[in-house]
């Protein structure tokens, strides 16, 4: 007699896939900054950046902002009203968080075209970027709280993964890095092939492109969203360092060469556009992971981190040419990146599907 061990359906089995970031959004999810360990001297200036982001986004799509308590809700409401934000598009949601990294601990939304439950999401295990920060264990539960709020189907996974470690073109290709996903502090029990299968099953992709290492100072172990991003289904921007003596030069050149040799889901070469690096941004003697690639593509707008660097205008110009139908806006992030992340790290898009209000 043969015993059949039936596995649970994965997103791909049910027609789900992760859409590209430039696909229409229903909303952007953020969390209000509150952690003084992350920003011991910068917190108020960082909050000003959040107000700017929310004001900009709310003019174009809904914004859901997580806050910890009633007092914070009142304070944030006053700040946003003073900034002239479109409050009819802003909802403050009382879900406590330790920190703001919604890209990594928040839901990874997937969609499907067939009738019934067109929107769902993947809920990965978040272990504080390889167990570096035990205080962040609480934030592993944030995605489940959002699921209860939205009443969406959830695919729970037993793999450690952060949203900043994956980048898709919405057509079947995913970019990621060996430094992060093959790191022994994430899923030491899984082989490269097994991790690829999880990505294919959960994101609805058929092609995985592996890059090597990320930028210096990135405590996430080389997230893809600091080094290479899709800007359309066939085009990738890849961060490069112009100075050969810079410690980022060699790993970024290797990533560029890998992309040149890569193929997408249909076997075609990618169009590759290089994006400059800012000069070294130093805080308390350590280099920060400052990168123009940590931009966020929203409805009608692209928010790009800037660092008071001579390369800021160059980076904005490159992205402006790549997003001709969107307004490309620089957001000053020298204070934000002291917390070791920037705009893409703190945002999470919710796709617009069907007639969902």
Q: What is the CATH number of the domain that holds 227?
A: 3.75.10.10
Quick one: tokens of 105? 């601990």
In a domain, 177, yes or no: yes
Query: Which of 118, 121, 128, 165 shows the shortest CA–CA distance to 145?
Result: 121
In a domain, 59, yes or no: yes
Query: Which of 304, 311, 314 shows the shortest CA–CA distance to 56?
Result: 304
The per-residue pLDDT for 4 is 40
pLDDT per position as a tens digit, 39-71: 999 999 999 999 999 999 999 999 999 999 999
Report whether 271 contacts 231 (CB < 8 A).
no
pLDDT per position as a tens digit, 104-155: 999 999 999 877 789 999 999 999 999 998 889 999 999 999 999 999 999 9
Q: How confident is the model at residue 5 (pLDDT cuts 50, 70, 90)?
A: very low
In a domain, 5, yes or no: no
Indicate if the pLDDT at residue 3 is higher than 50. no
The per-residue pLDDT for 1 is 38
Task: Please tell me which residue in 174, 238, 333, 345 is annotated as part of the active site.
Answer: 345
pLDDT per position as a tens digit, 269-313: 999 999 999 999 999 999 999 999 999 999 999 999 999 999 999
pLDDT per position as a tens digit, 197-227: 999 999 999 999 999 999 999 999 999 999 9
Which range of residues forms the domain containing residue 126? 11-351
| Sheet containing 108-111: order of strands | 108-111, 119-125, 154-160
In a domain, 3, yes or no: no
Distance CA 93, CA 64 (A): 7
The per-residue pLDDT for 355 is 58
In a domain, 6, yes or no: no
The per-residue pLDDT for 117 is 84
Strands (E), 126-267: 154-160, 167-168, 173-177, 207-211, 228-232, 235-239
Rounded mean pLDDT of 249-270? 99
Q: How confident is the model at residue 356 (pLDDT cuts 50, 70, 90)?
A: low
In a domain, 2, yes or no: no
238 a catalytic residue: no
DSSP string, 304-357: EEE-S-TTHHHHHHHHHHH-TTSEEEEEE-TTGGGGT--HHHH-EEEE--TT--
Percent of the chain with pLDDT over 70: 97
Percent of the chain with pLDDT over 90: 94
Indicate if the pLDDT at residue 100 is higher than 70. yes
Helix 70-82 and helix 43-58: axis angle, to 10°? 60
Rounded mean pLDDT of 318-339? 99
In a domain, 284, yes or no: yes
Report whether 309 contacts 277 (CB < 8 A).
no
In a domain, 246, yes or no: yes
The count of domains in the chain is 1
The per-residue pLDDT for 318 is 99
Average pLDDT in the chain: 96
Indicate if the pLDDT at residue 10 is higher than 70. yes
Quick one: tokens of 45? 């200036």
The per-residue pLDDT for 6 is 55
Cβ contacts of residue 91 below 8 Å, gap of 6+?
62, 63, 64, 65
């Amino acid at each position: 007699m043969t015993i059949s061990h039936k596995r649970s359906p994965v997103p791909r089995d049910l027609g789900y896939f992760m859409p590209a970031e430039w696909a229409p959004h229903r909303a952007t999810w953020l969390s209000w900054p509150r952690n003084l360990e992350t920003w011991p001297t910068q917190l108020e200036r960082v909050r000003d950046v959040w107000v700017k982001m929310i004001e900009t986004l709310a003019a174009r799509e809904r914004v859901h902002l997580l806050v910890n308590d009633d007092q914070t809700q009142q304070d944030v409401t006053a700040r946003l009203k003073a900034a002239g934000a479109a409050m009819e598009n802003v909802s403050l949601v009382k879900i406590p968080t330790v920190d703001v990294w919604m890209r990594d601990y928040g839901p990874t939304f997937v969609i499907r075209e067939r009738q019934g439950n067109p929107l769902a999401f993947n809920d990965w295990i978040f272990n504080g970027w390889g167990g570096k920060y035990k205080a962040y264990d609480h934030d592993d539960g944030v995605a489940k709280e959002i699921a209860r709020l939205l009443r969406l189907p959830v695919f729970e996974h037993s793999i450690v993964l952060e949203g900043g470690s994956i980048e898709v073109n919405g057509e079947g290709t995913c970019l990621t890095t060996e430094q992060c996903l093959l790191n022994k502090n994430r899923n030491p029990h899984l082989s490269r092939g097994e991790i690829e299968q999880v990505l294919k099953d959960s994101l609805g992709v058929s092609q995985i492109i592996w890059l090597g290492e990320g930028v210096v100072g990135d405590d996430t172990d080389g997230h893809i969203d600091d080094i290479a991003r899709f800007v359309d289904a066939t085009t990738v921007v890849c961060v490069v360092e112009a100075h050969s003596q810079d410690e980022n030069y060699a790993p970024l050149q290797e990533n560029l060469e890998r992309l040149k040799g890569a193929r997408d889901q249909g076997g075609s070469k990618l169009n590759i556009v290089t994006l400059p690096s800012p000069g070294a941004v130093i805080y308390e003697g350590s280099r920060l992971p400052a990168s123009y690639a940590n931009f966020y593509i929203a409805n009608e707008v692209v928010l790009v981190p800037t660092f008071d660097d001579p390369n800021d205008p160059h980076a904005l110009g490159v992205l402006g040419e790549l997003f001709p139908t969107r307004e490309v806006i620089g957001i000053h992030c020298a204070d934000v990146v002291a917390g070791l992340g920037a705009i893409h790290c703190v945002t999470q898009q919710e796709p617009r599907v069907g007639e969902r209000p």
